[in-house]
Structures are given as structure tokens and as C-alpha cells.
Amino acid sequence: MVTLRDQLFEQFASEALVQLTDEYKGKYEPKKGDRFNIKGITYEIGPPKVQGRAIEFEISSKIPQDELPPRADTKKFFKSIEKVILSDKKKPVKVDMENIIRETREEERKERDYVKLTYRYEGQELYIEKDIMKEVDAFGQGTDAAEIPVVPGAHTVASRLILKAIRNSIYRGGRANVESLVKANEQVRGQLRKERGKARK
């Protein structure tokens, strides 16, 4: 059963990821739906899900199959990305390779492989209770109420501050996760270009 708490956590996490997606679409090449293209690779940030006391979301990027050297395949590219990503401080809880088939307007079928990362944030990654209580105390001493969102269903200052902290934490975490995947793609592409260069000599 979905609780009001879960609904509010999901709402504020979703606001953070939508804001992040819009920023990337504004800065880089926007694609259909919520996707965006950075240096020739399409990325997508999935919607958040509340899992117990944690919040999960997925980030995916298209494997640039057209760039792969003759002897490299998508699985090799995926494994290389996985190795780089799993060396990060914040590791995804799941790393998958997903095959997606899309129908085009010309009635063609486009088959693409994607790297899909699932991230989970929980506990003090979302908010720190001591910090929330300090903010509650500061609010009682005249902090600007405009800094605290008005949320139907969240009646206390503490609950509203928790939601604000969750939104900020998911935004910062999601940005760091996307940047990590972009960096991993650039690193692996660089390695493959070197391999292609050596193969031509």
C-alpha cells in the first residue's frame, strides 16, 4: 500500500530529476521525450521509485554501435563501462545492458543496446535528521518561511524541510551520476578509438 509519505517522497524526487533532465536538454541536444544527446550519445533519466526507506531511479545511455571497431561488440563496450562505473565512490545497485527496439516514422525498426544503471539513495544520503532539527530551530528564530515549500499533506516544518532536503539530495546525486556515466562513455570511446587506430596500421 502506497502511503502519503511515499507519495510525497516520490513527488519531490521526481521534481528534482525533471529539473535535471530539463537542464541537460537545454544545455545539450534535446531528443524525443525526456532524452538528451551529449557528444553523440543519447541519455535518459528514469522516474524515481520509493523502495521502503530508499529512493531508486535509472540512468541509461545508448551504446554507440556505429563507432565500435570491427572486433569490438556491444557487450565488450558494456563491460568496459561497467568496470569504470563500479570504480566510483557512489556505485549503482544494478548495471544492466538493455536492448530496445523502436519503430520509426518510415516503418523501420531500430534496434539499440543501452547501458542502464540503477541508483539507490537512502538514510543520510537523503537527509540528516540533526541538520533538519537545526533548521527547525532556525525557523523558530525568524528564518525566511519562503525557503520552506508549502506542501499539502506535510503539516509540520520538519516534514517540509525533509522534502526539500530530499529534492536537493536527489538532484545533486542524479547530476553526479549522469556526469559519471558521461565520463565513463568518453573514457571507453577513447580506448576504442585507439584500438581502431592500431587496427588500421
77 neighbors 41 (Cβ within 8 angstroms): no
Q: Which helix (H) or strand (E) holds 153?
A: none
Give me the tens of pLDDT residue by residue for the chain, a chain 201 residues long. Answer: 678 889 999 999 999 999 999 999 999 999 988 999 999 999 999 999 999 889 999 999 999 888 776 666 888 899 999 999 999 999 999 999 988 766 556 556 667 899 999 999 999 999 999 998 888 887 766 555 556 777 777 778 888 899 999 999 999 999 999 999 999 999 998 887 776 666 555
Residues of 84-119 as b/e, b for ≥16 C-beta within 10 angstroms?
Answer: bbeeeeeebeebebeeeeeeeeeeeeeeebbbbbbb
Burial tier of 144 (Cβ tally within 10 Å: 0-12, 13-18, 19+) = exposed
C-alpha span between 201 and 193 (Å, rounded): 13
* pLDDT for residue 74: 86
* pLDDT for residue 137: 81
* pLDDT for residue 101: 62
Asked whether the whole model's pTM tops 0.85, one would answer: yes
Q: Which helix (H) or strand (E) holds 11?
A: helix 4-27
C-alpha span between 181 and 81 (Å, rounded): 8
Q: Provide DSSP, 89-149.
A: SS--SEEEEEEEEEE-TTS-EEEEEEEEEEEEEEGGGT--HHHHHHHHHHHHTT--GGGS-
